Chain A
Amino acid sequence: MTIADWYLPVIWAVIIGVAVAMYVILDGFDLGLGILFPLAQEEHFRDDMMSSVAPFWDGNETWLVLGGGGMLAAFPLAYSILFSALYIPIILMLLALILRGVAFEFRWAAKPNQKYWDLAFSGGSIVAVFAQGLVLGGMLQGVTVVDGRFAGGPFDWLSLFSLMCGFGLIAGYGLLATCWLMMKTHGDVAAYARKLAPRFLIAVALFAALVSLWTPLRYQHIAERWFSTPNIFYLWPLPLATAGLGYLVWRWIEKGAEVKPFFGVIGIFLLCFLGLAISSYPYLVPPSVDVWQAAAAPASQKFMLAGVVVLLPLILLYTGFVYWTFRGKLGPGESYH
């Protein structure tokens, strides 16, 4: 193996990781709004929630296309195995994303009879998030592979662990959404979000702790990764930092901070994501297919890398520009529609 052959797949794993992290953070808060929808007491809460993300949701969801498309391009073997193994939760996620995605437009068009599209948005968001948790859990717990093909059954992904990941992700996206609303809305909507936020934060803390205990207890290689020497000397700050940040976010919410909680929660997400990556490395399809086995031809990875180096900064730039254009809080009764 040449040096390039070793590095290219690792670089691509990082790129896909960045795409997935961007997706989780960006679509996380707009999916999370669907989780908060049923809890909203007043109609205008829901209007404001929708308006607060209307200009962004399309771009947010594009990171999921990059995650899926990038996976096909950079790791076709992992893409083919994982997506076959996780057929049911992936299809469930796609169907749910369709219903909640069109609700952004249909809800306004249907006014004042938007009840069913409220249901589609909320139900679709919740199911999509839960399915993403099932995908995550199904991936982490491992997939049966024989001769480079998925060789398990249609319900292999279903386990107590994957269900827990589903609920964990609902808590996480819900938290992100409450913090988004504190930052982007005024008055009673923001106050309502602030009231809900601590409950979601507690739930997130519980799920994070559960995963951190469960995975090393159940999987020998994850226990070794974290608790063997010298790894433990490098890795102990990670859980500590996560817990510390969780505490800070709690205080910020209590003190009425508007922007800090959102970025604090993003930090928590990134730390958790890093933790999962450390647990899984170097496997894309645990426990058998690693990043080098799954990698596309070096020529393909190089060709795309050239594009990513030029285009990704550009994408981040104009994504940033759009968020800046719609910066600040939503005015009272303001709607972009």
Chain B
Amino acid sequence: MQLDPTVLSRWQFAFTVTYHIIFPAFTIGLSAFIATLTGCWLFTRDERYHDLARFWTKIFAISFAMGVVSGLVLSYEFGTNWAHFSVVAGNVIGPLLAYEVLTAFFLEATFLGIMLFGHNRVPVWLHFVASIMVALGTATSAFWILSANSWMQVPAGYVIKDGIAYPDDWLKLIFNPTFPYRFAHMVIAAYLTTAVVVMAVGARLILAGRYPAHAGLMLKMGLGLALFLAPVQIWAGDEHGLATAKYQPAKLAAIEAHWDTAEVPGLVLFAWPNEKAELNDFALSIPHGASLIVTHEWDGHFEGLKQFPPEDRPPVVPVFFAFRIMVAIGFALLGLVLWGAYLWYRRKLSTDRLFLNVAALCWPLGFVAIISGWMVTEIGRQPWVATGILRTAEAASPVTGGEVAISLALFVLVYGIVFSTGIYYTNRLINAGPSPAIVHGDEALPSRPLSGATHAAQQAAQGGTLPTG
């Protein structure tokens, strides 16, 4: 059997980047949340904020470590697996990534040391500054990487000489047409996802009857932010969709599973897009729906897939379904936060067990939506790696299929171990709650002589048993 290095490299990149995005998405949001908590504590001197900041910092440390090591892989894969892409787009993409390292990575990685371990070494205000620097670093990183990604989607500000892209206008190149939409959509997604996680953790601890004062605060902070962000995100997504219609019509047609330009596009709720027959099987759609959404007109038209030669179309099925999963989650979250807001208004937020149970289960939804959204955008970019400049089929490195097959298998193995362990420890930390051991740190490590006493004190304080994770 001949192993195709391009196909395997696509799987490997898809796997490693999907795994990676989970952590930056979470740490972008969480670093901002921790900075906010620290700031609230400085202003109000309410100790709950301080306890929560310490608690979430522990969780942040685990996520950040997984983000760093899985991100490192990506910056090398452009060379190991996508050598020809690096040659063709290196002049343009390279500087954006270099700026990401210079402005973001060093900032976050360096100040992280102070944020995690500096409590006894620096004044409180400086610790606050460090947490702001980390939050700033994570958001700046999103700025550059989304600029680079958006350029690959809709290139601008460049010229082609001998098949290689050269920068022509840096401003146009960095602020390429779809970049503002993607950047906004992604950063809001990161904050919303984190808000939902915080809300879910609050709900979980309330249900368990542990640290109710802290848990209630988390529930309200998470819900409050999500209440604002969930509708904003739907609006930002709609704007992003309109930009896609304008700049990437083939992707939009795949999203809507719209084949015939002549037909007024309905909103396809469900279907199995049949790429061979160029139609939708089992379609259930709302007439005029997609026309209204995309063109904002009753009888509007946009280009159908048949308009594009088959070799220029993205795969329809995954784009179609991933988009629906993302949108469904977006509206589900909107429903959840509206429900929560209603209960909050009726002062039943901390007592309605049904809501708390649902909220506690919702923590992964934001991540699933983010991954689905990235699938829409990345698979929807196919067959191009950089639209109009280089096809994915021509971008791979001159390595053998065997090499990539083995490396892919190893990535799956190692990431599987690391991911499941990370989730396990994070979950254990969450179940422990903002306990004195976590909040006051150092002396309470199980290997330390004091730990026995602390354990006992902890148990007494909680009036319950410790989770044995």
Residues of A within 8 A of B (CB): 43, 47, 54-56, 58-59, 61-62, 64-66, 68-74, 76-77, 79-84, 86-88, 90-91, 94-95, 97-99, 101-102, 104-106, 108-112, 148-151, 154, 296-297, 299-300, 303-304, 307-308, 311-312, 315, 318-319, 322, 325-326, 333-337
Contact = CB atoms under 8 A, between A and B. Distances in A.
A68 B75 CA distance: 7
Given A68-B75, A337-B442, A84 B112 contact: no
8 contacts: A64-B72, A68-B75, A72-B93, A101-B68, A154-B403, A307-B103, A336-B442, A337-B117
Contact of B100 (A64, A69, A90, A312): A69
B298 interface: no
Contact of B110 (A59, A73, A112): A59
A55 B62 CA distance: 14
A279 B76 CA distance: 25
A63 to B, nearest CB: 9
A90 B64 CA distance: 22
B418 interface: yes
Interface stretch (B30-38, B78-86, B246-254, B271-279): B78-86
Contacts of A325: 113-114, 118, 121-122
A14 to B, nearest CB: 15
Contact of B116 (A55, A296, A304, A319): A55
B22 interface: no
Contact of A303 (B66, B122, B167, B398): B167
Interface in B407-450: 407, 410-411, 414-415, 418, 421-422, 425, 428-429, 441-442, 445-448
B293 interface: no
Contacts of B73: 94, 98
Contact of B101 (A62, A80, A94): A62
Prevailing SS type, chain A contact patch: helix
Report which residue of A54, A84, A95, A296 has the largest number of chain B beta carbons within 10 angstroms of its beta carbon.
Answer: A84
Report which residue of B113, B114, B414, B447 has the largest number of chain A beta carbons within 10 angstroms of its beta carbon.
Answer: B113
Nearest to B133: A318
A299 B111 CA distance: 32
A296 B164 CA distance: 11
B80 A95 contact: no
Contacts of B441: 337
Given A61-B109, A69-B100, A97-B69, A84 B79 contact: yes
B180 interface: no
B296 to A, nearest CB: 39
A326 B102 contact: no
A3 B447 CA distance: 62
Given A154-B402, A308-B102, A58 B87 contact: no
A308 B93 CA distance: 16
A85 B469 CA distance: 45
